[in-house]
Amino acid sequence: MTEKEKSQLGLLYNANYDKELIDERMYAKGLCYEYNQLHPGKISEREALLKKLLGKTTDRFLIEQPFVCDYGYNIEIGENFYSNHNIVMLDGAKISFGDNVFVAPNCGFYTAGHPYDVEQRNEGLEIVGPITVGNNVWIGGGVTVLAGVTIGDNTIIGAGSVVTRDIPSDVIAAGNPCRVIRKITEADKTKYRRS
């Protein structure tokens, strides 16, 4: 069984010394480098590179530069996805975003984890778990989302949060570790004035 097959089965695997995985990461990092060097105004060129890199895109999306990922093919973004500057996606496992997801600057989505056992960790072994973000989610600045987490639809994750476990739909959640603060209510619809 290859190291890539082990990772896809949720087993410990070695990403540090496996040629197939190293080559895939180098390919993705090369495309990220190209993407990050493009003039911000070259939107169609930026979209073309992301469509080449990512596993699934839609017609309408924008990822501000810089953007970094490990493999790219494990990332799926829904319609009207927007990410502000400096997003990092360590996509050893699938990272999927629904429609109308907004990600603030300096956020990280990390599917990789390492063994608690020091000997296994020192061998370079890791394990991955998917990250799933629902529809209509707003993720505040500086948020970290860890392996195996699902964030439900219509949820807001407050700035600076570290999301270590699932967060349900229709809530505001924040903190380290991130926890539900409250449900989103009808009153929230009128919180801000419209012109």
**pLDDT the model gives residue 1:** 94
**pLDDT the model gives residue 169:** 98
Label residue 65 exposed, middle or buried (CB < 10 Å: 0-12, 13-18, 19+).
middle
Q: What is the mean pLDDT of each run of 10 residues along the chain (195 residues)?
A: 94 93 97 97 96 96 98 98 98 98 98 95 94 98 98 98 98 98 90 77
Residue 114 is which amino acid? H
Domain ranges of the chain: 3-187
pTM tops 0.75: yes
| Residue 171: partners with Cβ closer than 8 Å, 6 or more residues away | 152, 155, 156, 180, 181, 182, 183, 184
Residue 190 is which amino acid? T
Residues marked as catalytic:
114
Helix (H, G, I), strand (E, B) or coil at 140: coil
Please state the CATH superfamily assignment of the domain spanning residues 3-187 in this structure: Hexapeptide repeat proteins (2.160.10.10)
